[in-house]
Amino acid sequence: MFVHTLTVRFRDLDALNHVNNSVYLTYLEEARIAYMTDRQVNSLAVPEQGTILAHCEIDYRRPAALGDRLRVELAVGVIRFSSFEFTYRVLRDRDNALIAQARTVQVCYNYRLGTPIRIPSAWIPVLQADQAGV
């Protein structure tokens, strides 16, 4: 499992003073990019071997507020021919409260050709090493 931490900023809040539901997409993206950078998967410098977000689902459990330190736990889910899943748990550090759960599907993509591609063979053992009990 990979863990990314962040602190809720003023700009993340809505009129009700809690994190707006759309901001969680950014939190997931930050965790996903941090994971891919750390694991050297999906180099932005190689457009022939990228990923594109194909699906996202989020279940909101509790509100998060200004200054909350959040932990985004990311694990790899199902790995297919040209796509793979990430699963996420967003937890508040101070009380370990579950704030949100999510799942995304990334499709491997050649940005030069504009078409899906097979998962690069070098990525498969990296993804498998972080795979949750699927």
Please, what's the largest Cα pairwise distance for the chain? 47
Give the CATH number of the domain where residue 15 resides: 3.10.129.10
Residue 8 pLDDT exceeds 80: yes
Structure tokens at 41: 């998967």
**CB within 8 Å of 29: residues ≥ 6 apart:** none
pTM check: above 0.85 = yes
3-state secondary structure 97-108: CEEEEEEEEEEE
Question: Is a pLDDT exceeding 70 seen at residue 133?
Answer: no
Domain range enclosing 17: 2-129
Average of per-residue pLDDT values in the chain: 94
In a domain, 73, yes or no: yes
Who's near 22: CB < 8 A, 6+ residues apart?
A: none
Our count of domains for the chain comes to 1
- What would you report as the CA-atom Rg of the chain, rounded to the nearest whole angstrom? 16
Domain membership flag for residue 118: yes
Q: Is the pLDDT of residue 125 over 70?
A: yes
Residue 9 falls within a domain, yes or no?
A: yes
Mean pLDDT calculated for residue range 67-74: 98
Quick check: is 134 in a domain?
Answer: no
Average pLDDT over residues 125-134: 85
With respect to residue 46, please indicate whether it lies within any of the assigned structural domains.
yes
The Cβ-side half-sphere exposure at 76, using a 13 Å CA radius, reads 19
More confident residue, 41 or 105: 105
Sign of CA dihedral 60, 62, 68, 70: negative
Does 134 score more than 60 pLDDT? Answer: no
Q: What is the pLDDT of residues 19-56, one digit of tens each?
A: 999 999 999 999 999 999 999 887 667 778 899 999 99
Helices vs strands, H then E, count in the chain: 2, 6
Residue 78 lies inside a defined structural domain of this protein:
yes
pLDDT tens, position by position, 76-91: 999 999 999 999 999 9
